[in-house]
Structure formats: C-alpha cells, structure tokens
Chain A
C-alpha cells in the first residue's frame, strides 16, 4: 500500500512540475503588468527544441538550456510586438500560441517515434535513503529540484528584493514608475523573457521527463491551465505551488482511477483537469475584491511614455 502511495505521489510531482515552471514564469510577467497568453505556444516550442537538442547531442543539460532559450526566443517576439509595436496583448498572445503550435509541429515532424530514456534521477546521498520521505522528496530529476528552488526564488525576489519591488511597481502603476525614473519598458522586456524561459523549461519537463518523447501538441492545454493557476493563486508564488500539486493530483487521479477499473470512461476522467480549472477559476474570481486586491493594476494595459 505504501509503495502504491509513494508511486502516486511521485507521479503527482512529475505532473505538477511543468505547471509550476510555466505558472511562476507567467506570474512574474503578469506582475510587471503584461498578460502573455502565449504560454501554450512557448511551452510547445520548449518541448520540441529541448527534445531535439537531447536527440542530437545526448546532453540533458543542453536540452534544458535549449528549451529555455526557445521559450525566450518566442517571448522576445511577443515582447517586441507588445512593447515595441504597441500591439494588443491578448491578440498577440493568441498569435504566439497559434504560431508555436504550428512551428513546433514543423520542427518536430521527424522526431515522432524517437525514444528517450528520460532525465536521469539524481538521488541525494543519505537523504534519499530515508524510508517514505526519501523517495518522495530526494530522488528526482534536476527539473523537479529546480521547481522547488524556483518557488523560493520567485517568492524571495518579488517579496524581499528591491528589484522585485520595482517590478511590482511597474505592474501596478507604470506611469508612476516611469515618473520616478524606472525603465518601464526594459523591466517589462526582462519579465516577459523570464516568463518565456520558464515556459520553455516547462516544455522540457513534458518532453524530457513527464512523457519523454515528442508528440504534436503534447502540452494539451497545460499552458492555459498554468494561466488559470496564476489567477487561482491570486498572484502569489506559494499558492501557485499548492495549486500546481492540486492539478497534478487531479491528472494522476485520472490515471489511477483507470487502473483501478472504476468503470468511468477514459474520456470523462481526462476531462477532469479542464473541468477543475473552470471550477477553481469560478471559485476564485467570484470574489471581485480579492482579485482586484492582488492582481497587478496595469495588467494588459499598453504603456505610452509621454515624456
């Protein structure tokens, strides 16, 4: 029984990891006042480019770096359009997703059916020997450890550092931040690029760890679920973490209910994460004040420096 439970928890962790990266990256972008709806497209590009790099070089590190770079490249296109060309954020984000779905399919056409063993597990000496806790916490691939670290880092950066404060100021009132002399556009560029890099890594989690292979459109809406997670978490890093595990749990529930033969059709179980996203979004959004209190005030609004 414990064995099964441990196995289940470990799969929840692998399912939640891509969501943590994508949602935290998007949260930082949104905190700077920019809504990037292209997460799904950036994730797919990260997934396919990371997989290609591993396939060609055999190096997992290079794969993850390439994935981050691919996400950053996609985010750069978005940033130039939105910040340089004053394009609408919603439309540009959608375009980024449509473009990413197409381009990743094009890049990955020769990779369908290529196998990869998955990222190596890095067991932490001694700690991974502890019964129960060991395998759950200290025997993962590098991306899972990275996701733990990222929550701490983002939380510390936004809440405890001067740069984080400036970023939040830019997101809450770009005119005031500009008047004080902060480079609003440059800060937003950096925030968007960070979001892109994290979405790229989220893609790598899918194609290198979660189901180590490339399939067209393999993110299957996880980019959008990540966007919903940011709202669910009311723009707080730790709640993103909790939310991602909640969703990871729902995703895994679907697999295990299948195995136990619960008699529910596979399709109905597969609907769960999407249905849960809607329910959760409704529960959180219902309280308008809560949303208004925590969401960046300038989100989605274009910035025109007047002087």
Chain B
C-alpha cells in the first residue's frame, strides 16, 4: 500500500519541481484525451505545443497572449499570498477596458502623446474602483470577497454589453454592437514590426520586476508574506488584515484594469461586447503554477499563453474544438494541486502487514 508520510521539513526542491511534474502529467492526460477524441496524439500535441512556436509571428503572439495573463497573474499571486481571494479579475479587466476605452472615444479627435497614458491611468482606476467594492464589503461588512468579486464580474460583462449597444456604439457602425476603432494616438505602439506585439508586453515585464521588488524589499511585501504564512504571527505583530485586503484587491484590480485597457488599445483596437477569453480566470491558474511568485507567474503566463495559441492552431489544423484549451488548463491546475502534496509529504510503500502492525 502507498501511504503518505509527513516530511520533517517542507521540500523546497519540490516547490519548483511540482509544476514540471504536473505539466508532464497534463501532457500524458492530453494523450489520453486526444485518443478519446479520435485524433492522433502525436499530431495533436505537435499542433498544441510546437507548431505555434515554429514562426516568428507565433513567438510575437505568445507575447501578446501572455501580456494580460502575466499582468493579472502577478497581481493575483500577491493577493493569494496574503490570503485574499480576488476571483473577479475578469470583471476588473472589463472595467479597465470600459474606462480606458471611454477615454479613447471621448478624445477621438485629439492627437496627442498624452492620450495613451491617460487611457492607461483611467483603465487602472476603473479596475481599482471595481475591486474596491469587494474590499469595502469585506473590511466593512465581512462579506466573502470570492462571491462578491465574482458577482461583480457578471455585472461588469453586462455593463460592457450595455455600453457598446448604447452610448459607446459606433455612430457610423450600422447599429453593430461595437465602438469606433480607436484613433492612432489611442493605439499602443508595436514593438516588433510586422507582428501584433505591443508596448503592453514591456509593461508586463516591468510589472514582474516591480512586484518582485515590492514583495522582497518593502514593508508591505514583508507583511503580506508573514500574514500569508502565519496569520497568527501577523496579528501579534500588529499587521492590519484590513490593510492587506485593501492593498491586495486594489493592486489586483489596477493590474487587471491595465490588462483590459491594453487589450482594447492593442490587439483589439476598439470596444466589443466580449474582450477577453477569460484571461481573468485563467490568471488564477497562472498564479498557482507560478508558485505565487512574480517570476514564476511570468513563466507560467507564457506556458498558459502557449495553450491558448495551441488551442487556436489545433482548431485550424485538426478541427479540434477550442474548449480543449480550457480542459488542458483545468487539468494542469488539478495535477499541480495534487503534486503539491509532495512538498509536505512523501510517498512511502508499506506492506499491508506492516500497516496492520503499526
């Protein structure tokens, strides 16, 4: 019989190995999944994980898809460390897109280098204001932030739909529910000519470095780590839990809002009824696979971005449904959570007779 035995100390090596083991197991499960779907697993895995990276364009697209995932994943890592469960990043992303996008439409005629910075600022503020609601309800009324932030996501999606059907609709757009296409001064500069890789990728890299400094070098970063690992120690040290809730949610909301704005000012270029294929939810997986560490979130963000690209490529070349991507992402998180047991425990083989003897 296999039995779990508690390790005297947590294994640091396995903290980093666990995502790799989980990835291998996910791929193995993928082989089974493709077999069931009646597709050659070798061809499917090639289409999913290799083909997207065989062209320069593919690498640029990887950066485009990774940008929102990394931005939000990094911010959620910080919050999850503090034990603040912001599940509504998708809604905060939407609000960022609405607020920043509204600025772009309001300043449609204006040609100035200040338009983009103003849009980014408003996008962040939009995301932060949406995240402030669960923060207020949590600190003031003790309402569970998981449920409130998630409900606000549905409201945000409806709000976006309402606006692109009404006030923000393109006046010359034949009543299609979409806004005008943003002007040049409201569109992000392209970093790599001939691709869609935009300034946002650089901002995401900056966010990784910035959050890493914040977590390792500042007092609030220290408090977050203490409260996350040992809540009792945090209380004794007099760290305010409410402050942690506010900080985590506002930080997450700001980053998600920025990510939303970058999507509409970058690859999309206008406001549409749907602007994200669930980046805000997938970023939760990014945070966990990235071990709740900014640099980890960067790597995990790239991996998950690849799964999005792979899904599209498999849809085109093998006619596989796009939903396979979601299944892959869910499986990765499952296997990761299962592998994480190895951090605190080891597996020992014990004969049944011995177990009875014990």
Enumerate chain A interface residues (CB-CB to B < 8 A).
37, 77, 81, 85-88, 90-92, 94-96, 98-103, 105-106, 109, 216, 220-221, 224-225, 227-228, 231, 265, 267-268, 270-271, 274-275, 277-278, 281-282, 285-286, 288, 291, 304
CA distance A92 to B330 in the complex (A): 10
CA distance A95 to B285 in the complex (A): 8
Within 8 Å by CB of A87, from B6, B144, B331, B341, lies: B341
Within 8 Å by CB of B142, from A100, A278, A291, lies: A291
Which residues in B have their C-beta under 8 angstroms from that of A109? 321, 323
**B95 → A minimal CB distance (Å):** 14
Given the contacts A109-B323, A220-B154, A271-B155, A92 and B337 also touching, CB distance less than 8 Å: yes
Which residues in A have their C-beta under 8 angstroms from that of B166? 265
* 8 A-B interface contacts by CB (under 8 A): A37-B146, A85-B338, A231-B147, A267-B161, A268-B158, A277-B147, A278-B151, A281-B144
**Pair B344/A98 contact, Cβ less than 8 Å:** no
**A234 → B minimal CB distance (Å):** 13
Given the contacts A95-B330, A102-B327, A220-B154, A278 and B143 also touching, CB distance less than 8 Å: yes
**B249 → A minimal CB distance (Å):** 15
Q: Chain B, 318-351, contact with A by CB distance < 8 Å: what is the 0/1 string?
A: 0001011111111101100110110011000000
CA distance A306 to B333 in the complex (A): 28
Known: A92-B337, A99-B334. 13 other contacts (CB 8 A): A88-B337, A99-B326, A102-B329, A216-B323, A221-B151, A224-B151, A227-B147, A231-B144, A265-B166, A270-B158, A282-B143, A285-B143, A291-B142
Residue B98, interface by CB 8 Å: no
Given the contacts A87-B340, A265-B162, A282-B143, A274 and B155 also touching, CB distance less than 8 Å: yes
**Pair B143/A91 contact, Cβ less than 8 Å:** no
**Pair A275/B151 contact, Cβ less than 8 Å:** yes
CA distance A257 to B159 in the complex (A): 18
Q: Chain B, 231-262, contact with A by CB distance < 8 Å: what is the 0/1 string?
A: 00000000000000000000000000000000
Which residues in B have their C-beta under 8 angstroms from that of A96? 330
Residue B284, interface by CB 8 Å: yes
**Pair B340/A281 contact, Cβ less than 8 Å:** no
**Pair B144/A98 contact, Cβ less than 8 Å:** no
Interface residues of B in 120-147 (CB under 8 A from A): 133, 137, 141-144, 146-147
**Pair A288/B142 contact, Cβ less than 8 Å:** yes
CA distance A14 to B151 in the complex (A): 22
Within 8 Å by CB of A98, from B133, B162, B326, B345, lies: B326
CA distance A98 to B279 in the complex (A): 12
**Pair A102/B323 contact, Cβ less than 8 Å:** yes
Which residues in A have their C-beta under 8 angstroms from that of B330? 95-96, 98-103
**A40 → B minimal CB distance (Å):** 9
**A250 → B minimal CB distance (Å):** 13
| Closest chain A residue to B284, Cβ basis | A94
**B323 → A minimal CB distance (Å):** 4
Within 8 Å by CB of B137, from A98, A100, A216, A278, lies: A278
CA distance A278 to B284 in the complex (A): 22
**Pair B323/A221 contact, Cβ less than 8 Å:** no
Residue B196, interface by CB 8 Å: no
Enumerate chain B interface residues (CB-CB to A < 8 A).
4, 6, 85, 87, 133, 137, 141-144, 146-148, 150-152, 154-155, 158-159, 161-162, 165-166, 281-282, 284-285, 288, 321, 323-331, 333-334, 337-338, 340-341, 344-345
**A228 → B minimal CB distance (Å):** 5
**Pair A99/B155 contact, Cβ less than 8 Å:** no
**Pair B165/A98 contact, Cβ less than 8 Å:** no
**Pair B151/A95 contact, Cβ less than 8 Å:** no
CA distance A220 to B153 in the complex (A): 11
CA distance A216 to B323 in the complex (A): 10
**A157 → B minimal CB distance (Å):** 26
Within 8 Å by CB of A91, from B144, B323, B337, lies: B337
**Pair B321/A86 contact, Cβ less than 8 Å:** no
**A79 → B minimal CB distance (Å):** 12
Within 8 Å by CB of B333, from A37, A85, A98, A100, lies: A98
**Pair A281/B148 contact, Cβ less than 8 Å:** yes
**Pair B141/A286 contact, Cβ less than 8 Å:** yes
**Pair A278/B152 contact, Cβ less than 8 Å:** yes
CA distance A253 to B323 in the complex (A): 33
CA distance A295 to B273 in the complex (A): 39
Given the contacts A86-B341, A87-B337, A268-B162, A105 and B326 also touching, CB distance less than 8 Å: yes
CA distance A228 to B147 in the complex (A): 7
Which residues in A have their C-beta under 8 angstroms from that of B345? 86
**A286 → B minimal CB distance (Å):** 5
Tell which of B4, B166, B337, B341 has the most Cβ of chain A within 10 Å: B337
CA distance A77 to B335 in the complex (A): 11
Given the contacts A275-B151, A278-B137, A81 and B326 also touching, CB distance less than 8 Å: no
CA distance A265 to B164 in the complex (A): 12
**Pair A271/B331 contact, Cβ less than 8 Å:** no
CA distance A277 to B152 in the complex (A): 10
**Pair A98/B284 contact, Cβ less than 8 Å:** yes
CA distance A190 to B120 in the complex (A): 50
**B72 → A minimal CB distance (Å):** 14
CA distance A265 to B159 in the complex (A): 10
**A70 → B minimal CB distance (Å):** 15
**Pair A81/B324 contact, Cβ less than 8 Å:** no
